Amino acid sequence: MSTSPLQKPREWKPLEQRKCTDIPWLLLFILFNVGMLCICGFAIATGAASRLISGYDSYGNTCGQKNGKIPGIELSGRDHTSRKYVFFLDPCNIDVLGRKIKSVALCVSKCPDTELKTYEDLRNFSAVYGSDLCSYDVQPDTYSSHSNRATKCPTLPVHPSASLPVFHRCMPVDISCYARFAEAFITFVSDNSVVHRVIAGVMTSKEIIMGLCLLALVLSLILMVVIRYISVVLVWILTAVVVVGSIGGTGILWWLYVDHSKSVNATLPALELEVAKDNQKALLIYSIAATVFTVILLLLLFFMRKRVALTIALFHVAGKVFTHLPLLALQPFWTFLTLMLFWVYWITVLLFLGSAGSPVQNNQTGLVEFRMDGPLQYMVWYHAVGLVWISEFILACQQMTVAGAVVTYYFTRDKSQMPFTPIVSSVLRLMRYHLGTVVKGAFIITLVEIPRLILTYIHSQLKGRENACARCMLKACICCLWCLEKCLAYLNMNAYTATAINSTNFCTSARDAFFILVENALRVAAINSVGDFVLFLGKVLIVSCTAFAGILSLNYQREYTVWVLPLIIVCVFSFLVAHCFLSIFEIVVDVLFLCFAIDTKYNDGSPGREYYMDKALMEFVENTRKATERYGKVEAESREMKSMVSLKGQLLLLFFYFYFYKISYKKHLFNATLMACLSQQSTKPYLCNFI
């Protein structure tokens, strides 16, 4: 069986030629989006959009228009042209689990803007404004005497209500009746007064909240500048803090173990003695684990200290990239805005689907609900897949855009010859050549993320009802899928970089990037561990500073009695802002590293193979080369010494051999052997080799 010769590895040719990649996947994505638009069109065509905006009553009539008769529903098919608002007879009867109002809904001409305490007030309101607040089959004159007034008229007293700005629903102005609904989501609420104080604190401190959010934005920009100019000091300070903390924590654990060992003696009572021994064993286990962790950490830092220098150099160059490409700082805003627009569209269509379908009468309540039966119910699942895939596609477009701009910066020797706006050029290049690659990468993440979300949903629904084994297996599966998703996301990011460099399809780019990363595994580990740790501490720093400023600001505003919700809003927003900015910084560092690895693999600085890298990275390479040359020189001298020692040993053995045979009675035998070797007629070649 013949073996095929090994194929020569394909050379990287940055920015030399462009071609379209993964076109079939782009066509598949277009067809998928056509299906998404068809779902939206179906929801609008079936009247779901008008039912969502205008609202409908409990008998299937849409408010604000003339309706057709629904077979089997007595009060359907009514003309509600003058009745544009939805009124709930018992708006405070809320199904917390179902997140809906369990009440009869009617279409009315006007929402009651004053409190109505008696049925006589209901009749007067109907006479003055022409708005009947009881069921359609109950006349206003019989409000007080009707036998079914408890179920067909609103619950008294009727609280003042107002219509929502877009959706024509009459909602109570006083939110006190929603306290139970709020308690299901806000667990720290113990009474209605807390709800009022929290909401009042948010509304009256909105200026401070906006100011603190702006502060988080400024701090994120400042931190990016700081990381660039003091990256050396920052990384080593954090490394020193981690080392000192690990050694100090290990020492404290051993000290506690020794102290507990001294206190354990036979004079203690039996129960206390058992507890003291258990604590002693626990401290011993903790101390040993901390010692092992500290030793491993110190060894890793020792062997990776040169890679830490590469991380520092990459951070410094990443800061320069932001100087040359200032539009990179705006990239998170465009991505966030695009995601917001898509999510608003997705939620709107989902609400349309919730109101679409055929009217069905509920056997228990007798009210009309709209349900989709048969194959139409799977449109919701199709719509859910679209949420994940398109969201991942938008994020992947950001990664490809950033990668394209950074690759252009790195592989352009004369920085003055770069395009006027590399970000715009990268976007145009993405749209023209590489949308299919981005679609394929996003689909791979979707294949992992959807099962993880389904398992997470199942775990939340079965919480408290499944056994320990099932709970452990579910958590293990969720954790494994999460780890796989993170690994694929990192590989996708490097695949996009390879595509931006060579204009190859997704699979080829992922394979090439994977081999480069494997060849530089220690460097990858150092950059991901040290770099991610630095950026995480940067996020914590921004959130802490913003929260501290918020506490100081609210402390001088004594009327804000509850600070919890404003501070939570500020902290969440500041973390999102810091994550958006520093995640772009992280992407830039990853792209620079892959470019650096490719540069050092195919170039050596000689004429015709000059490096593309920045001066800071060049200094790192030169220092590494000098250290390697020194190591190689020492190793060569060592080998020479070993060879000299070996030669001396052989000569010494030969001397003893000659001496032995000269003084022995076998001298003639040695002479005969020597003559046979010289004449090449010896039958013992190993002796000739030795001689």
| Residue 342: burial class (beta carbons within 10 Å; 0-12, 13-18, 19+) | middle
What's the CA gap between 327 and 423, in Å, rounded?
7
What's the CA gap between 243 and 444, in Å, rounded?
39
- pLDDT, mean over the chain: 75
Q: pLDDT per residue over 472-494, tens digit each?
A: 888 888 888 888 888 888 899 99
Pull the structure tokens for residue 690. Answer: 């030795």
What's the CA gap between 40 and 465, in Å, rounded?
37
Secondary structure letter of residue 65 according to DSSP:
S
- What is residue 1's predicted lDDT score, i.e. its pLDDT? 39
| Residue 349: burial class (beta carbons within 10 Å; 0-12, 13-18, 19+) | buried
Query: CA dist 165 to 158, 162, 169, 170, 187, Å?
Result: 21, 9, 9, 10, 29
What's the CA gap between 197 and 563, in Å, rounded?
9
Instruction: Provide CB contacts within 8 A for 10, sequence distance 6+.
Output: 512
Secondary structure letter of residue 158 according to DSSP:
B
Please report the sign of the dihedral spanned by the C-alpha atoms of residue 374, residue 361, residue 81, residue 154.
negative
- What is residue 192's predicted lDDT score, i.e. its pLDDT? 39
Q: pLDDT per residue over 187-211, tens digit each?
A: 333 333 444 444 455 555 566 777 7
What's the whole-number mean pLDDT along residues 579-605? 83
Nearest to 352 by CA among 44, 58, 61, 36: 44
Q: pLDDT per residue over 19-37, tens digit each?
A: 889 999 999 999 999 999 9
Indicate whether 620 pLDDT > 50.
yes
What's the CA gap between 460 and 451, in Å, rounded?
14
Please report the sign of the dihedral spanned by the C-alpha atoms of residue 228, residue 230, residue 236, residue 238.
negative
Reported confidence tier of residue 618, pLDDT bands at 50, 70, 90: confident
Pull the structure tokens for residue 436. Answer: 């299919």
- What is residue 599's predicted lDDT score, i.e. its pLDDT? 84
Q: pLDDT per residue over 80-126, tens digit each?
A: 888 888 888 887 766 544 445 677 888 998 888 888 888 888 888 88
HEC string of 563-575? Answer: CHHHHHHHHHHHH
State which H helix or E strand residue 105 sits in.
Answer: strand 105-108
CB hemisphere CA count around 255 (13 angstroms): 6
Percent of the chain with pLDDT over 90: 9
Distance in Å from the first CA to the final CA of the chain:
46
What's the CA gap between 373 and 131, in Å, rounded?
36
Give the other-Cβ count within 10 Å of 104's Cβ. Answer: 22
What is the residue type of 535?
A: L
Reported confidence tier of residue 558, pLDDT bands at 50, 70, 90: very low
State which H helix or E strand residue 471 sits in.
Answer: helix 468-502
Q: Hey, which of 7-11, 61-65, 148-152, 267-271 has the most confident mean pLDDT?
A: 61-65
Q: Hey, which of 87-91, 350-354, 635-639 has the most confident mean pLDDT?
A: 87-91
3-state secondary structure (DSSP) of residue 125: helix
- What is residue 97's predicted lDDT score, i.e. its pLDDT? 47
Indicate whether 631 pLDDT > 60.
no
What's the whole-number mean pLDDT along residues 168-196? 52
Query: CA dist 47 to 50, 61, 86, Å?
Result: 6, 11, 17
Indicate whether 669 pLDDT > 70.
no
Indicate whether 678 pLDDT > 50.
no
Nearest to 369 by CA among 70, 75, 54, 60: 60
664 or 465, higher pLDDT: 465
Reported confidence tier of residue 3, pLDDT bands at 50, 70, 90: very low
What's the whole-number mean pLDDT along residues 417-421? 76
- What is residue 269's predicted lDDT score, i.e. its pLDDT? 64
Pull the structure tokens for residue 192. Answer: 């209605």
Please report the sign of the dihedral spanned by the C-alpha atoms of residue 114, residue 118, residue 121, residue 122.
positive
370 beta partners: 359
Query: Which range (45-49, 326-330, 553-557, 647-651) has the least confidence?
Result: 647-651
3-state secondary structure (DSSP) of residue 169: strand
Instruction: Provide CB contacts within 8 A for 225, sequence distance 6+.
Output: 319
pTM of the model: 0.69
Pull the structure tokens for residue 415. Answer: 């920085």
Q: pLDDT per residue over 256-272, tens digit each?
A: 788 777 766 656 566 56
Indicate whether 511 pLDDT > 60.
yes
Reported confidence tier of residue 186, pLDDT bands at 50, 70, 90: very low
What's the CA gap between 393 and 391, in Å, rounded?
5
Reported confidence tier of residue 436, pLDDT bands at 50, 70, 90: very high
Cis-peptide, bond into residue 157, ω within 30° of zero: yes
Instruction: Provide CB contacts within 8 A for 449, sequence distance 6+.
Output: 388, 392, 481, 485
What's the whole-number mean pLDDT along residues 559-576? 67
What's the CA gap between 272 and 100, in Å, rounded?
56
- What is residue 182's predicted lDDT score, i.e. its pLDDT? 47
What's the CA gap between 585 and 362, in Å, rounded?
55
